[in-house]
Amino acid sequence: MSNEGKKVKTHYRGTLADGTQFDSSYDRGEPLEFTCCAGMMIPGFDAAVKDMALGEKKTVTIPAAEAYGEYNPQAVQSVPVSQIPNAAQLPVGETVYFQGPAGPFPAKVVSVDEEKAVFDMNHELAGKDLTFEIELVEIAD
Average pLDDT over residues 56-66: 97
**Domain segments of the chain as ranges:** 6-69+125-139, 73-120
Contact by Cβ (8 Å): 40, 50: no
- Whole-number pLDDT of residue 100: 84
- Condensed to tens digits (0 to 9), the pLDDT of residues 90-110 reads 999 999 998 889 899 899 999
Taking the C-alpha atoms of residue 7 and residue 42, their distance in angstroms, rounded to an integer, is 16
pLDDT band for position 139 (cuts 50, 70, 90): very high
Average pLDDT over residues 121-133: 96
Q: What is the CATH number of domain 6-69+125-139?
A: 3.10.50.40
pLDDT band for position 3 (cuts 50, 70, 90): very high
Q: What is the CATH number of domain 73-120?
A: 2.40.10.330
Mean pLDDT of the chain: 95
Is it true that 6-69+125-139 and 73-120 share their CATH fold?
no
pLDDT band for position 141 (cuts 50, 70, 90): confident
What distances in angstroms separate CA 95 from CA 47, 111, 114, 140, one per listed residue? 30, 12, 20, 36
- Whole-number pLDDT of residue 43: 97
Q: What is the pTM of this model?
A: 0.83
